[in-house]
Structure 1
Amino acid sequence: MNQTEIINIFTKKTLGLTFVLSAAAFAFAQEKVGISGSVVNKSNQPVPYASVTFSNKANKLLSDATLTDEKGQYKLDLTPGAYDITVEAIDYQKSVINKQITAAGNIGALSIEPEKSATNIKTGDIQGVVITAPSTKPYKVELDKRTYDPSQDIISKGGNLQDVLQNVPSVEVDTDGTVSMRGSSNVKFLINGKPSALLGISEGSNALQSIPADQIERIEVITNPSSKFEASGTSGILNIILKKSKKVGFNGSVVGTLGYQPRTMLNANLSWRKNKWTWFVNGGGGYNESTTTNRNSNINYDKNQKFQLLRSDQETKNKNYSKNYNATAGFVYDIDDKNSVNLSGTVRTFDNETDGRINYNYLYNFDGFTNPNTLRTSNGTNTNLAFQGDLGWDHKFNDKGHNLSTSLSLQSNKSNNYTDIFQQSDYLIKRDESDLDLDGDYNEIIDIEHKMDYQISNNSQYSRTKSIIGKIDYELPIGENSKLEAGYRIDSNNNFYDNTANEALALNTPLSVLGKFTNVTNYDELFNAFYLQFRSKIGKFGYQLGLRDELSNVKVNYQNLDTDPKTIHSINNNKNYNNLFPSVYLSYDLGKDNQFLLNYSRRIDRPRSWFLIPYFSITDNQNLFLGNVDLNPSYVDSFEFGYSISKKKFTLNPTLFYRKTTDDSKIVSYQEDENTNVYFTTPLNLGTNEQYGLDFNGTADVFPWLKLMGSFSLFGYKTTGEYSYNTIDIKGNDVTRIQSYAGDGLSTRARLNATFKVDKTFSFQLQGFYRGPQNTASQDRKAMYALNLGASKTIWNGDGTLAFNMQDIFNTRSMRSVNYLATGIRESYMQWQPRQFSISLTYRFKQGNEKVEQPKKKKDINSNATGDDQQGGPM
């Protein structure tokens, strides 16, 4: 069966689907209380490893379950209310007890009777007990975040973090791997609540591709973070929570993936829990190939924008071969009922080879200039090695939520890049003394000379980052509905960059140093942060007030070897900031799971370290990135007003938002010499930027066999600002150009995810997304759209899952734009990866053969019926 037939079969089975109007908003979390108890037999002897299930009579989503320890005791946190308590154990009869939970404390002993024909197996010998329960919906709203559960995401099976993010509501992934939220790419990534070595130095697409989807328990989308979170990331925070099994005994899963373009991966999640110890190991590796295509067409005009003086076409194709390996191992030790410590270590490697090919073609409309056609080839290697160690201590003063937690994280990242470049230029030299007249006419060519030029160069880059992150968090409940939180955090980051570039302008000649691109940079950051926040609830009205103070010190020391007296050879900057970041959250309950929400926060966008390095790479000598040492932070004031309703069959979360950014940082393009085709891009602080709009997310269980999850975002934008630069015009004069970056307009984002359940063991999924055009005075971005497919089959009595996915079925995922410069226009096209597909096999195993299940309930389409792996939860 060919690809077209497969597409047609799935197309015929789908219904006419429309995008679900939905949006996520913050829900005021219901306070939980800590309870404890025990399970005993008729002789009042403890029953170890019994399952205790608390089923909330009013709201099944508040239900929970746990296991008794070897002493027959248990603890868990529950929302106050009426519960049916079900107790089950091997060789004992099931017992159901009705109880009202009103406050924290011990609810006493629950007694169970032995089976009339019991076996000789002792319950105490059974340690591999597993409780199965329906999972929650894949998307839910909490107080200060929205949580996405990827376990039911068929399309990203066997993929990586970048694949998963393409399905997360309110999140977009561009063709180059850039992640944005509500049209802004200034997103802060965290792993388990803090920066991580897993993401490497750049936090770029390579890092996102190195984290397997199977290791992700959930993703927290924080569009308007409270004062408890660090203030970086003006568009929000994405907190990636990795799996840590809480099942008793030895449990785990192994996933293998094969795909095209060639992709292979093997990953494992293993855990072992007994008594006071919990050990875990997550790790794996993979190999991947990808092809990236870039096309640029540049047209320069005269000053009246009437005559086309120069046109150049450029096509870049890069073939990437990458290998990555990562492993995380650690343990949690419960010292006693009130204290526990955790220790873990992570190592990550990423190796990449790139074969690049750039074709430059030039056309001129006047005499006296050359017409070169250039082929530039490159071969580059990149190695990245990262380590991370984490140590934590948690102390519970009591079972009412009075807690103290501390953590220390040590991280180190090293990266080596080396590129060999060979360039061949074929010239047609025009010889004519004439020039353009006032009407734009020119004389015929008098003579043409053919010439060949060769250029050899190399570029070596070394970077290293060392980080220390320390945190202390304190929680103090006040009464039944209030809580005070306070904390301190210190971040110390040392970044070192060593860049060397050499060049020879002819064959068989020695290489000479390119002074601008041979430089050393030390970039140091030190952040001290304090926060205090208080939340409470009065009747139906809830509120949370917070304030964060961050003291920042940034040092940049840059030196290069350039001999040009016009070039800055040394820069030594030291900047200090002291900023307050308040946050306010308000909620009003209209009924159960039906709320209005209003919040405000202030954020900061600190420049990325490599945005400050003046000269870095020469892989493409016609398109150079130039850092800006004087780049300052940007600040944003963010407001949200939302509504959240969650019912059994659907959830809807519309949110209105408004953001205003001052000292807004933008990437701009310019030419230093308009007689060449060399373009520079650099970040600048440009005026203000306002964004406003409606964000709609939601889910719907349309039929027992059809589930939808969709998102739609309509946002407006208004940018003010301009920048100036010095250049040499077409006649050789030094001139100053002024370029406007102002603009306003509307844009849209939409995504629909439809899951079709064929039977109990087989489901397939279609996902379509659309990103509308976006225009400013300096750039027009074209619309982008794509369709993805996934299918999942449970095998081996639920212990295995076979999954297939195809990304970008119709090969339409590409980014197109037109940039308007003072000297002309630039048309650009980029496709990060063409269509690809993969097949993966998951095998799950557990210790013991016995399994205790929940009382039978009505099937829920959101349950784990398709055999998806859920290692992360306590159920």
Structure 2
Amino acid sequence: MKFFKVLFFIPFFLLISTLSLAQQRNEGNKITFSGKIIEKTSSLPLEYATVTIINPTTAKPVSGAVTDNKGEFKIQVNPGTYNIKYEYISFKTLETKGKNLTTNTNVGTIALEDEAKQLDAVEIRVEKTAVDIKLDKKVYTVGKDIIVRGGTVSDVLDNVPSVSVDAEGTVSLRGNESVRILIDGKPSNMGNISDALKLIPAEAIDKVEIVTNPSARYDAEGGGGILNIILKKGKNQGINGTFVASIGDPRNTGLSANLNFKQEHSNFFTTIGYNNRSNPGNIKIDQQNFDENGALKSILNERRKNDRFGEGLNANFGIELFLDKSTSWTNSLNMRTNKGGNIENVLYYNYDALGQYLNTRQRYNDLKSTSENVDYSSNFIKKFKKDGHKLTADISISQNKDNDNSSIEGVILDNNKFVSSERTRKNDKQQRNLFQVDYVLPIGKKSQFEAGFRGNYVKTTTDYQVQERLTENSSFTNIDEFTNILQYNENVTAVYTQFGSKINKFSYLAGLRFEDSKIEINQLTSDIFKTKKYNNLFPSLFLTYEISDNSSISLNYSKRISRPRDRFINPFASYTSNVNLFQGNPDINPAYTDAYDFGYLKKWEKLTLNTSLYYNHTTDSFEQVRKERGDFVFTPVGGADVIVNGEIVTVVDGEDIKTPVIVNTFFNLGKNDRYGFEFTLNYNFKKWWKLNGNFNFFNSQNTGSYTYTNSKNEVITQSFNRNATTWFTRITSKVTLPYKIEWQTNGTYNAAQKTAQGSNKGIAAMNLAFSKDVLKDMGTISFNVNDVFNSRKRIQDMQLPNVNSHSEMQWRRRAFTLSFTYRFNKQKTEREQKPKQNGNGNNDDEFMG
């Protein structure tokens, strides 16, 4: 049945294809003018160079194009005689007059000569849109987006098509949280990825690649796809750079510099950023507790205020050496440090079954954290005589340390009576060594063979300690239920090969990846030692048919894997709340996904449309279950209390107040089927108005159940069968107002969604930004408002056998940011050449790019 539901959408695509063919017939009289533009001194392709075809009689442009990442261009034009102009900012303009075009013409390679002295005289003609849509991926350029200035990578991702970031910072792609996030083609070694993304400033990001269905060249990790965050690396000739300063409310102070010095045989580049931020948020939970007979026995209203803060420094230094015209070697060192914390004030208002007030308990948590990350990368590229024939080798060695220390105090506010006193310590260390070799061999003019090796070896140690004081004046002792040391080692060795060819208008790319995985889980405290070894084949197949020069359809397939990480595995619970715990499952296994994607891409003069119909079938998928683990007990006003193993035990007569303790954990569900439809639009409505829209509709069906034994030794089987449908949309509008003021609006809506144990409400939010160029376009002043209506909240209703709860979570409130950008020896629309990517096979010359 699911397959037939997928087929239901196919007539829609056929209708679009028919309309495109009709348009193609109407344009049948036009010819194609094509070629390639390179930099004369280095022979590197010039991306974003402008080609303009001009009517010699009227001296007005009749058509034009911008070169792609290979420096190539194609223009549809009526036969005739024209003047043709080739331009790239800071390069000499080349013009050919009286060119007679009667048939399809390829002018070959055009070499432009650098002339820095002409920089101020070049007329700004073309602006690249923030989103570049390709058949196999979308590329989001950060530099054009004024909304994210002064923000972090989390803010950047929350503006990327197909991507959403929820109230807790969790990233999902097409609604799927099983997404692999890479930085410069490498996995992040910064601990919790959601927290890591909040540490890197947006100014350090060049672009984000969104790969919804990766080929065999990419890591097989990530059932929902891959997000590759590319950091800035200067590529322009001479000394140039950009400085950005920002200030905001809540506190958001930032300074960053992106500098590079490029000569004939070398390029030095650096990015340095400092930030000092505060992110206040709040949580509201209203909980009803029932007895075995379903009768209401108590009410708990929880109110939590958070003040997350951090002060961080990010520095990247590198040098690219051009050993000869065909060989380059890049070495870079990246360092990140952050000091911060989270002051959390939690109030528990307790009521009896009749709603009569009993007391208020306070839990005050003062968390201090530090993070240090060092990453060394080396990238070697050898290009051979034949265009596209090259060998790439990468090495990355990185180390990360995260230390968290918190003190937690609990009192009954009504009489200021001591309830609890705890302190926690968490020390994380991670070492990652990555080695990769990729080889690309063109065969003939339209075929290509690829092969590669990748070794990713990770070692993580988590030392977690929780201590308590039994009375107000006693000393601290360990709580053995939480204190533990976990070692997690993940060694994945992979080889891949793929072959692609183009036959007339039909292209194919077939690949096979083999990954050998060895996972070691060493729970040193409880003597749990598990080693999981498995190896898998991951095939991929990509088929493309070009309907015309501006439209194509594709059918793609790939197999993916999602491996559980240390947090999912550790059987010791984390101690963030007395009544809400997170506990890992050491027996959880990887999940496997078969991903299918049917896409259509169409480009008009002002409009680009990319649509996709997708279906993912996952076995052993991860599902989070909430189950009760007994009661947290405390005494109303007037009683005396002591603390035993984190729980209050009454030592005098009186009626105890019992609050169920909820444990959150993951297990392997039977299967999950997800299918959906997505489209992305780029529309240059006018020179002064650009629109970008993204819509994603999907259905998720779970099949499976979970069985456990509760605190009363009862066997509980809970069904997780569900059929949930939801959708997500984002619209971005960019308008040029009078006096060259740019106005950008971003609106998002996440529709309501059913979950296995409740439902999530819909979320609507809006961001605004304004910018104005000053100092002869060398500087820019920007002002943005994040979450204009203060509405970005996760609202959730949950029903458990003995608990009903309604929660509202706001990770951070509305924020205002003012920033100033200054560029020297670099114009606003000047584009850096595409950097050579490290790791994960993200080469620029993808066969079907």
The bucket for the TM-score relative to the shorter chain is 0.7 to 0.9
User: CA 1:715–1:641 in structure 2 vs 1: closer, same or farther (change >3 Å)?
Assistant: same
Contact 1:87 1:96 in 2 (8 A): no
> Which AA in structure 2 matches 1:139?
V
Matched, 1:203 2:197: no
Q: CA deviation at 1:143?
A: 4.3
Q: Which runs of 5+ in 1 are unaligned?
A: 1-20, 40-45, 66-75, 113-122, 428-449, 561-568, 848-863
Q: CA deviation at 1:34?
A: 8.2
User: CA 1:479–1:288 in structure 2 vs 1: closer, same or farther (change >3 Å)?
Assistant: same
Counterpart of 2:96 in structure 1 is 96
Contact 1:755 1:766 in 2 (8 A): yes
CA distance in 2, matches of 1:424, 1:91: 70
Matched, 1:402 2:389: yes
Contact 2:201 2:275 in 1 (8 A): no
Counterpart of 2:168 in structure 1 is 176
CA distance in 1, matches of 2:316, 2:339: 19
Matched, 1:470 2:435: yes
2:547 is aligned, of 590, 601, 607, to: 590
Partner-residue secondary structure (3-state), 2:143: helix
Contact 2:367 2:405 in 1 (8 A): yes
> Which AA in structure 2 matches 1:553?
K
How do residues 634-645 of structure 1 correspond to structure 2 at under 5 angstroms? 634-645=591-602
2:765 is aligned, of 782, 786, 789, to: 786
Matched, 1:501 2:501: no
Contact 1:741 1:776 in 2 (8 A): no
Contact 1:130 1:247 in 2 (8 A): no
Q: CA deviation at 1:477?
A: 0.3
How do residues 405-554 of structure 1 correspond to structure 2 at under 5 angstroms? 405-425=392-412, 452-554=417-519
CA distance in 2, matches of 1:664, 1:769: 28
Partner-residue secondary structure (3-state), 1:209: coil
Counterpart of 1:248 in structure 2 is 237
Q: Write the deviation string for residues 837-872 of structure 1: whole angstroms up to 9, x where unpaired.
A: 11100000018xxxxxxxxxxxxxxxx9xx467556
User: CA 1:868–1:135 in structure 2 vs 1: closer, same or farther (change >3 Å)?
Assistant: closer
CA distance in 1, matches of 2:47, 2:609: 34
2:139 is aligned, of 147, 153, 156, to: 147
User: CA 1:550–1:91 in structure 2 vs 1: closer, same or farther (change >3 Å)?
Assistant: closer
User: CA 1:384–1:104 in structure 2 vs 1: closer, same or farther (change >3 Å)?
Assistant: farther
Q: CA deviation at 1:425?
A: 3.4
Matched, 1:653 2:640: no
User: CA 1:214–1:872 in structure 2 vs 1: closer, same or farther (change >3 Å)?
Assistant: farther
CA distance in 2, matches of 1:160, 1:468: 26
Partner-residue secondary structure (3-state), 1:169: coil
Q: CA deviation at 1:79?
A: 5.7
User: CA 1:59–1:530 in structure 2 vs 1: closer, same or farther (change >3 Å)?
Assistant: farther
Counterpart of 1:768 in structure 2 is 747
Q: CA deviation at 1:59?
A: 8.0
Q: CA deviation at 1:547?
A: 0.8
Using the TM superposition, name which of 182-191 and 521-530 deviates more. Answer: 182-191
Q: CA deviation at 1:283?
A: 1.2
User: CA 1:103–1:514 in structure 2 vs 1: closer, same or farther (change >3 Å)?
Assistant: farther
Q: Write the deviation string for residues 373-394 of structure 1: whole angstroms up to 9, x where unpaired.
A: 3211111100000000011211
Counterpart of 2:339 in structure 1 is 351
Counterpart of 2:798 in structure 1 is 819
Q: Would you say how many aligned residue pairs link Structure 1 and Structure 2?
A: 761
Counterpart of 2:24 in structure 1 is none
1:78 is aligned, of 59, 72, 75, to: 72
Matched, 1:159 2:148: no
Contact 2:48 2:66 in 1 (8 A): no
CA distance in 1, matches of 2:320, 2:544: 36
2:129 is aligned, of 117, 134, 137, to: 137
Q: Which runs of 5+ in 2 are unaligned?
A: 1-11, 17-31, 54-61, 77-82, 632-657, 836-849
Partner-residue secondary structure (3-state), 1:151: helix
Q: Write the deviation string for residues 488-513 of structure 1: whole angstroms up to 9, x where unpaired.
A: 00001000111111101211011111
Q: TM-score, normalised by structure 2?
A: 0.83
> Which AA in structure 2 matches 1:714?
F
Counterpart of 2:218 in structure 1 is 229
User: CA 1:298–1:102 in structure 2 vs 1: closer, same or farther (change >3 Å)?
Assistant: same
CA distance in 1, matches of 2:236, 2:139: 22
> Which AA in structure 2 matches 1:420?
S
2:67 is aligned, of 48, 63, 81, to: 63
Counterpart of 1:264 in structure 2 is 253
CA distance in 2, matches of 1:272, 1:213: 22
Q: CA deviation at 1:256?
A: 0.3
How do residues 312-327 of structure 1 correspond to structure 2 at under 5 angstroms? 312-327=300-315
Contact 1:414 1:464 in 2 (8 A): yes
Counterpart of 1:663 in structure 2 is 620
Q: Write the deviation string for residues 220-251 of structure 1: whole angstroms up to 9, x where unpaired.
A: 00111111100111111111112222211000
User: CA 1:86–1:237 in structure 2 vs 1: closer, same or farther (change >3 Å)?
Assistant: closer
Counterpart of 2:733 in structure 1 is 754
User: CA 1:81–1:168 in structure 2 vs 1: closer, same or farther (change >3 Å)?
Assistant: closer
Q: CA deviation at 1:210?
A: 2.0
User: CA 1:130–1:601 in structure 2 vs 1: closer, same or farther (change >3 Å)?
Assistant: farther
Counterpart of 1:185 in structure 2 is 177
Q: CA deviation at 1:725?
A: 2.0
CA distance in 2, matches of 1:622, 1:52: 56
Contact 1:318 1:357 in 2 (8 A): yes
User: CA 1:36–1:420 in structure 2 vs 1: closer, same or farther (change >3 Å)?
Assistant: closer
Contact 2:47 2:67 in 1 (8 A): no
User: CA 1:241–1:103 in structure 2 vs 1: closer, same or farther (change >3 Å)?
Assistant: farther
Q: Write the deviation string for residues 525-567 of structure 1: whole angstroms up to 9, x where unpaired.
A: 100011111111111111111111110000010033xxxxxxx
Q: Write the deviation string for residues 171-210 of structure 1: whole angstroms up to 9, x where unpaired.
A: 111111111112111221111111245xx11111x32122
Q: Write the deviation string for residues 628-664 of structure 1: whole angstroms up to 9, x where unpaired.
A: 1111111111111111111121111121111111101
Contact 1:54 1:64 in 2 (8 A): no
Relative contact order higher in (CA < 8 Å, ≥ 6 apart): 1
Partner-residue secondary structure (3-state), 1:648: coil
> Which AA in structure 2 matches 1:716?
N
Counterpart of 1:391 in structure 2 is 378
Contact 1:34 1:399 in 2 (8 A): no
CA distance in 2, matches of 1:107, 1:426: 78
CA distance in 1, matches of 2:519, 2:90: 61
Counterpart of 1:688 in structure 2 is 671
1:296 is aligned, of 257, 267, 285, to: 285
Partner-residue secondary structure (3-state), 1:226: coil
User: CA 1:299–1:80 in structure 2 vs 1: closer, same or farther (change >3 Å)?
Assistant: closer
User: CA 1:869–1:841 in structure 2 vs 1: closer, same or farther (change >3 Å)?
Assistant: farther
CA distance in 2, matches of 1:181, 1:249: 39
How do residues 349-388 of structure 1 correspond to structure 2 at under 5 angstroms? 349-365=337-353, 373-388=360-375
CA distance in 1, matches of 2:183, 2:277: 23
Counterpart of 1:713 in structure 2 is 696
Q: TM-score, normalised by structure 1?
A: 0.81
> Which AA in structure 2 matches 1:215?
A
Counterpart of 1:840 in structure 2 is 819
Contact 1:138 1:149 in 2 (8 A): yes
Q: CA deviation at 1:704?
A: 3.1
Partner-residue secondary structure (3-state), 1:211: coil
Counterpart of 1:212 in structure 2 is 201
Q: CA deviation at 1:127?
A: 11
CA distance in 1, matches of 2:768, 2:699: 31
CA distance in 2, matches of 1:211, 1:456: 34
Identity of aligned residues (%): 31
> Which AA in structure 2 matches 1:209?
K
Q: CA deviation at 1:144?
A: 2.6
Q: Write the deviation string for residues 15-73 of structure 1: whole angstroms up to 9, x where unpaired.
A: xxxxxx99xx9xxxx9x99887969xxxxxx99xx9997738698445379xxxxxxxx
Counterpart of 2:323 in structure 1 is 335
Q: Write the deviation string for residues 267-315 of structure 1: whole angstroms up to 9, x where unpaired.
A: 110000111110000011110011121122222224453x112322212
CA RMSD of aligned residues (A): 3.5
2:523 is aligned, of 558, 564, 569, to: 558
Q: Write the deviation string for residues 61-103 of structure 1: whole angstroms up to 9, x where unpaired.
A: 45379xxxxxxxxxx7536899946489999996537699999
